[in-house]
Amino acid sequence: MQYRTLGHTGVQVSSLALGAMNFGAIGRTTQDEATAIVDAALEAGINLIDTADMYGGGESEEMVGKAIAGRRDDIVLATKAGMPMGDERNHRGGSRRWLVTELDNSLRRLGVDHVDLYQIHRWDPSTSDEETLSALTDLRRAGKIRYFGSSTFPAYRVVQAQWTAREHHLSRYLTEQPSYSILQRGIEAHVLPVTEQYGLGVLVWSPLASGWLSGAIRAGRDITTSRSAFMPERFDLTIPANRARLDAVERLAEVADEAGLTMIQLALGFVTAHPAVTSALIGPRTLDHLHSQLAAADTVLSADVLDAIDAIVAPGTDLAAHEKHDTPPALLDPSLRRR
């Protein structure tokens, strides 16, 4: 396992980190299975575990808390807030009112007195950066969080938040958690240059592109992944973007075979090769999934392999741009672009 410094924090984290989204109902992973996955991940050298309040409505945090009981000090523990937690309109977002309340809820579910990294799950356009950063700064001073970061922020929002922190003498986001894979490389054009400029740690999610790069999806096979059941549109081959992804996967499989690598090693080795990336979040549902991904822990891709990937999916290109999670609200809601 490789270790890297998380931004300017001085904290050393593993190049592969354990994402716990699949713990519980989402991935149909039981507590015993989750604990076994955590045990094996820690044994392999992973020291960062990432979850969120909204994963299973708090279930993931509860399962992580039980799995790490008695060894909290050996783990860099990260969670997130901001996505809806029920139907109550104020149980979401980045307001001080909600973050102060929800952090206490997360600490209770996790069974800890602090988290190392608290992240805003999505940019909240209805809340000012000053409001959110002021609340996070106070929570850090209270000792409930050590550092805080953003998740899936567009580049201009990362810059705006950094400016707000400086302008109002507040603590700043020290990390960003974007989606990144061989098939979704758009952040190379905007987000990653910004994170490098500000020295942010970067924890990338979905490096296997929702299973497209797992090795299980190939031409002529039925597409069945944990995501295909509840996001069928992402795997519908009548959609041009999905056809483009499948074509790319077939060509990438040839590159992996020639290099003597699995598709998972190719995919994880690619994202961890970027100098702006600190860790890649893996989200196994089973021990078998975990072990297949741990095999990439020390994978280093040669320049020839990286060049071959560039020839298949150009740098800075998203093959499914419509699936981006950082689209400005006015592009999604016509009422926001009409007078």
Kindly report the CATH number assigned to the domain that includes residue 109.
Answer: 3.20.20.100
Place of tokens 């991904």: 293
Place of tokens 């090693």: 265
Q: Tell me the per-residue pLDDT of 268-290, one tens digit each, with 9 for 90 and over.
A: 999 999 999 999 999 999 999 99
Cβ pair 15, 44 in contact under 8 A: no
What SS3 string covers 113-181?
A: CCEEEEEECCCCCCCCHHHHHHHHHHHHHCCCEEEEEEECCCHHHHHHHHHHHHHCCCCCCCEEECECC
Share of the chain above pLDDT 70, in %: 98
Q: Cα separation of 107 and 103, whole Å?
A: 6
> For residue 60, which of 15, 18, 114 has the smallest C-alpha distance?
18
pLDDT of 11 > 70? The answer is yes
Mark whether 55 is an active-site residue.
yes
Q: Tell me the per-residue pLDDT of 192-234, one tens digit each, with 9 for 90 and over.
A: 999 999 999 999 999 999 999 999 998 877 776 555 556 778 8
- Ramachandran region, residue 62 (left: φ > 0; alpha: ψ -120 to 50; beta: rest): alpha
How many domains is the chain partitioned into structurally?
1
β-sheet bridge partners, residue 120: 81, 150
Catalytic residue among 3, 55, 118, 198: 55
pTM: 0.94
- Average of per-residue pLDDT values in the chain: 95
| pLDDT range class, residue 18, cuts 50, 70, 90 | very high
Exposure pattern of 218-255 as b/e (b: 16+ CB <10 Å)?
Answer: eeeeebebbbbeeeeebbeeeeebbeebbebbeebbeb
Q: Average pLDDT of 282-308?
A: 96
pLDDT of residue 189: 96
Domain residue limits at 78: 3-337
Continuous H helices in 146-302: 155-167, 191-198, 240-259, 263-273, 287-294
pLDDT of residue 229: 56
